[in-house]
RNA sequence: GCGAGAGUGGCGAAAUUGGCAGACGCACCAGACUUAGGAUCUGGCACCCUAGGGUAUAGGGGUUCAAGUCCCCUCUCUCGCACCA
């Protein structure tokens, strides 16, 4: 190897060695502690972007660090390969989604390999492989048997551009998460997973995940949206029917003066009186037509219509007019709300607009509210009034008391309501996992029998772009016979949401080639849970909630014994350039290929790790990349410069060390300690790299006054630099390590330990403050006695002027740090 | 509106337990060398001021011998939820 740093040569060499030796292939090994490190697998969109480079660089540092520490590290990679873009590309290029996808995978795999990432490529999988999705069909059918997968007619989110259904989690601000089109509402017969059955456990377990960022947990808790309250029945006047409401405020029941129903409420039309019928129909029509986006906005004017019907307040027996209101949501609670205008702001505004009665049932402590003069609802805590036997109670106590009373009287019952809805997984698209059922006119929905699995996605679909699901037009796929009655039947043409595949891929990585089922239980037990998961914050509710749900389902189906899939989660920040997220439209994209071509993968990795801590956004700077490259070149030169002198250096003779050499050795061991802690405890790679840079500076400074008898110290210093850099810039470090005369690789050499004794300072700096202001610094022995330190501080000549004419009130001593003299 | 997080030099950032604010790097300035380079090395680099100081971590107040760090108020930004009964 030459003395000039040539990343291309170095990187090609080591990538070949790693590939030839299968260096990162792992098998279960009971003798070592396991570490399962996973980055969210990419969608094969065509080529990798800087976000990938950052994500996978972060992961690779941890993988290599843990490996050097002696862990048996599982570090797999694969492809989230089903999805819309492949289908769109097929239409555009008159090709096939499979071709596009597998070509992209091949190209992107090559790109990842040029980054020198330490994956066990033997475990690679793509979710569009038959060998993957066939097992998912088996899981689906088992979920179907348990009622966890079901089909029903329901209102769904429909993306007109993607021509498919979206789950609630996939609608952002009323728009499609992928293409940003405005989402419409449609009534469709579609498949769902009963994630709501796991709502409570999914919520509870967020409190068992200390290794997750709090904000992700909070987002999941909000999404699950548990609220405790009551269901209460209100009899409709002059009829047998009842309206059921959900409320978290049973304490306000005596103040309920009218009723609000969602426009889509099933009773809406039948309640309408003859005279109101026209108005009610017009209102329902208007609400249905108003788009979801606007309807959700809080500043939307509250509107409603009187149905002409009344119900009875079960506690006061007062007649309550029944309204339809645009702010009541059918999906939440029972789609009906008891309106308490005095204690709910929405009801207050509604009552004012339609001139409905107000009745105060809670007063603020020591005050009396007058409905005639109220300008807003009173929603905080207070004392019960106008509520019969509950008068005088704190309203917080009355919640419980009234709820108990309602239960006793059979009027209502305590319930828990969740905001979480079941996960709609039907997608009216071709490039996905076919839902393995058959629709028979006689037998209804019939699951595909185990012997007929898998349902293979047919390759002869046509991608015309003319709308509709291409799969539904493949006659040979659609037409089949009913497994139950044998009659002619039609195969289901909906495919599964691609988030289904990403909900269990981390489990499949434990036994990616297993043919006995989706998962090899022993292997899963050996590797799971994922010790460290790394990915973008954008999946805080989507993928990360689905994956938790799926893990629990697979546990309950007997496939594994894991409750939570990801022990620790790191959400890395975005890559920003010129103040905006990198995107084609902004023209601020940095192409990883060009970067690697010019500087090498190690520089690209180093910069993306050095510029910011992983969880923060990273501000890309071309000049910063130059700086990282310069640093590596400097280390390279340093090694070759000292190589002839240190080649035959022996071990450091610690007893004989003194002066600068001893200081250098102290710096070496302090750096090892700091880098180990920064990487291990905090993932603060930026400060770890900064510490190595400082050490390099120290070695260079030392070298300028190099004394030949200190070659052993220099060798130790240089070798430590190389070893500490190994997780960050692996090709670079391996090359220098071998140049330094080592036959074993850095992985085999392991992570350096430090000599605690060598880190002990001979002298320390004690800061002297007067009234908290820095006035002097003392250089003293580390074990200086308190009195000696104080005396030295008081006697210091820089301190003296500040003491003149004043009296010393107090002297504070913080051992080894400072003396603060308080004067007045 | 509610919830979470953030605000530190020209820039990216450090400061781990309340104890020297600005490590490390970028940019910039000066110098050295020169086969003139997007090279390397040396030094400087928060602000104000002549030394000695003084002032600075969004703004204001507080606790403390001591506050970027803890408490209260205000402002700004980012993210999430958003009429959830």
pLDDT of the residue at A388:
93
| pLDDT one-digit tens code per residue, A395-443 | 999 999 999 999 999 999 999 999 999 999 999 999 999 999 999 999 9
Nearest protein residue to nucleotide B84, judged by CA and C1' positions: A332
Q: Taking Cα atoms as reference points, which of A690, A682, A677, A680 lies closest to residue A725?
A: A690
Tell me how far the alpha carbon of residue A728 is from its chain's centroid: 24
| pLDDT one-digit tens code per residue, A111-162 | 999 999 999 999 999 999 999 999 999 999 999 999 999 998 887 888 888 8
Span CA (A617) to C1' (B77), Å: 14
ipTM above 0.85, yes or no: yes
Which nucleotides of strand B are protein-proximal, with an atom < 7 A from a CB?
A: 3-5, 11-16, 19-21, 23-27, 38-42, 53-55, 65-67, 79-85
Confidence of residue A164 (pLDDT cuts 50, 70, 90): confident
Checking if the pLDDT of A484 tops 60, the result is: yes
Please state the rounded mean pLDDT for residues A77-103: 93
Please state the rounded mean pLDDT for residues A174-182: 78
Asked which of A20-24, A68-72, A256-260, A679-683 is least confident by mean pLDDT, the reply is: A679-683
Instruction: Go through chain A and tell me how many residues it has.
Output: 824
Span CA (A204) to C1' (B3), Å: 19
Please state the rounded mean pLDDT for residues A42-48: 94
Query: Which long-range contacts does A166-174 make (Cβ < 8 Å, 24+ apart)?
Result: A166/A424, A167/A423, A167/A424, A167/A425, A167/A497, A167/A499, A168/A421, A168/A424, A169/A223, A169/A423, A169/A541, A169/A542, A169/A545, A169/A546, A170/A499, A170/A542, A173/A293, A174/A291, A174/A292, A174/A293, A174/A296
Span CA (A448) to C1' (B37), Å: 71
If one compares A662 and A478, the residue with the highest pLDDT of the two is A478
Maximum Cα–Cα distance across chain A: 109
**Chain-wide mean pLDDT for chain A?**
91
Checking if the pLDDT of A355 tops 80, the result is: yes
Rounded to whole angstroms, how far apart are CA atoms A505 and A543?
Answer: 11
Which nucleotide's C1' is closest to A772 (Cα)? B66
| pLDDT one-digit tens code per residue, A599-621 | 999 999 999 999 999 999 998 98
How many percent of chain A have pLDDT more than 70? 98
| pLDDT one-digit tens code per residue, A212-228 | 988 899 889 989 999 99
Which nucleotide's C1' is closest to A541 (Cα)? B80
Checking if the pLDDT of A287 tops 90, the result is: no
- Cα–Cα distances in angstroms (integers) from residue A621 to residues A171, A521, A626, A723, in the given order: 34, 47, 9, 27
Which nucleotide's C1' is closest to A340 (Cα)? B85
pLDDT of the residue at A570:
93
Which nucleotide's C1' is closest to A631 (Cα)? B25
Please state the rounded mean pLDDT for residues A558-584: 89
Nearest protein residue to nucleotide B12, judged by CA and C1' positions: A611
Checking if the pLDDT of A513 tops 90, the result is: yes
pLDDT of the residue at A707:
61
């Amino acid at each position: 190897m030459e003395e000039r740093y040539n990343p291309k040569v170095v990187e090609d060499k080591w990538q070949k060695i790693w590939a030839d030796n299968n260096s990162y292939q792992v098998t279960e090994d009971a003798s070592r502690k396991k570490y399962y490190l996973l980055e969210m697998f990419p969608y094969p969109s065509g080529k990798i972007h800087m976000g990938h480079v950052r994500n996978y660089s972060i992961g690779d540092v941890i993988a290599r660090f843990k490996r050097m520490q002696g862990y048996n590290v599982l570090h797999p990679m694969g492809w989230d390969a089903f999805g819309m873009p492949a289908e769109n590309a097929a239409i555009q290029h008159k090709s096939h989604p499979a071709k596009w996808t597998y070509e992209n995978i091949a190209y992107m795999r090559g790109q990842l390999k040029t980054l020198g990432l330490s994956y066990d490529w033997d475990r690679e999988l793509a979710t569009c492989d038959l060998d993957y999705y066939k097992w998912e069909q088996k899981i689906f059918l088992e979920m179907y048997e348990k009622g966890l997968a079901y089909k029903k007619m329901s209102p769904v989110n429909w993306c007109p551009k993607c021509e498919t259904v979206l789950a609630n989690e996939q609608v952002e601000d009323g728009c499609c998460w992928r293409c940003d089109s405005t989402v419409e509402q449609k009534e469709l017969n579609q498949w769902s997973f009963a994630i709501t059955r796991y709502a409570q456990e999914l919520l509870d377990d967020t409190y068992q995940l200390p290794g997750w960022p709090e904000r992700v947990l909070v987002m999941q808790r909000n999404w699950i949206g548990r609220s405790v309250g009551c269901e209460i029945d209100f009899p409709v006047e002059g009829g047998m029917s009842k309206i059921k409401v959900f409320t978290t405020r049973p304490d306000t029941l005596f103040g309920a003066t009218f009723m609000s129903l969602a426009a889509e409420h099933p009773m809406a039309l039948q309640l309408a009186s003859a005279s109101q019928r026209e108005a009610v129909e017009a209102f329902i029509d208007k609400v249905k037509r108003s788009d979801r986006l606007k309807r959700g906005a809080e500043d939307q004017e509250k509107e409603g219509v009187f149905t002409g019907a009344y119900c009875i307040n079960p506690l006061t027996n007062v007649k309550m007019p029944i309204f339809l209101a645009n702010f009541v949501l059918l999906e939440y609670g029972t789609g009906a709300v008891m309106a308490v205008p005095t204690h709910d702001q929405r009801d207050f505004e509604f009552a004012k607009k339609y001139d409905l009665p107000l009745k105060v049932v809670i007063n603020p402590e020591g005050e009396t509210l007058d409905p005639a003069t109220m300008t807003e609802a009173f929603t905080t805590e207070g004392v019960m009034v106008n509520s019969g036997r509950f008068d005088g109670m704190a309203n917080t106590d009355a919640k419980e008391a009234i709820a108990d009373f309602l239960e006793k009287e059979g009027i209502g019952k305590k319930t828990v309501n969740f905001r979480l809805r079941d996960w709609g997984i039907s997608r009216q698209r071709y490039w996905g996992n076919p839902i393995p059922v058959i629709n028979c006119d006689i037998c209804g929905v019939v699951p595909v029998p185990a012997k007929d699995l898998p349902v293979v996605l047919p390759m002869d679909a046509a991608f015309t772009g003319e709308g509709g699901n291409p799969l539904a037009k493949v006659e040979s796929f659609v037409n089949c016979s009913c497994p139950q009655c044998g009659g002619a039947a039609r195969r289901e043409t909906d495919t599964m949401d691609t988030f289904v595949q990403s909900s269990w891929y981390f489990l499949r990585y434990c036994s990616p080639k297993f043919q006995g089922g989706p998962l090899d239980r022993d292997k899963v037990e050996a590797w799971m849970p994922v010790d460290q998961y790394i990915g973008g914050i954008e999946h805080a509710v989507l993928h990360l909630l689905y994956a938790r749900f799926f893990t629990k389902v697979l546990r309950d189906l007997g496939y594994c014994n894991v409750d939570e899939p990801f022990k620790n989660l790191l959400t890395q920040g975005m890559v920003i350039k010129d103040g905006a997220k990198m995107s084609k439209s902004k023209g601020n994209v940095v192409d990883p290929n060009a970067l690697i071509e010019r500087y090498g993968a190690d520089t690209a990795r180093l910069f993306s790790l050095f510029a910011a801590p992983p969880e923060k956004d990273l501000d890309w700077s071309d000049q910063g990349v130059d700086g990282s490259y310069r640093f590596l070149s400097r280390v390279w030169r340093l090694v070759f410069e000292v190589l002839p002198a240190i080649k035959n250096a022996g071990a450091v003779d610690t007893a004989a060390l003194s002066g600068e050499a001893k200081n250098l050795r102290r710096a070496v061991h302090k750096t090892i300690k700091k880098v180990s802690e920064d990487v291990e405890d905090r993932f603060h790679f930026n400060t770890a790299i900064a510490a190595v840079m400082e050490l390099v500076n120290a070695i260079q400074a030392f070298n300028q006054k190099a004394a030949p008898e200190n070659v052993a110290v220099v060798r130790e210093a240089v070798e430590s630099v190389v070893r500490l850099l190994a997780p960050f810039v692996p090709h670079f470090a391996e090359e220098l390590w071998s140049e330094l005369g080592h036959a074993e690789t850095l992985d085999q050499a392991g992570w350096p330990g430090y000599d605690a004794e060598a880190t002990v300072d001979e002298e320390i700096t004690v800061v002297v403050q007067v009234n908290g202001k820095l006035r002097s610094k003392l250089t003293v022995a580390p074990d200086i006695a308190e009195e000696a330190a104080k005396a030295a501080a008081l006697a210091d000549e820089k301190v003296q002027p500040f003491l003149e004419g004043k009296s010393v009130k107090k002297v504070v001593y913080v051992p080894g740090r400072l003396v603060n003299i308080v004067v007045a």
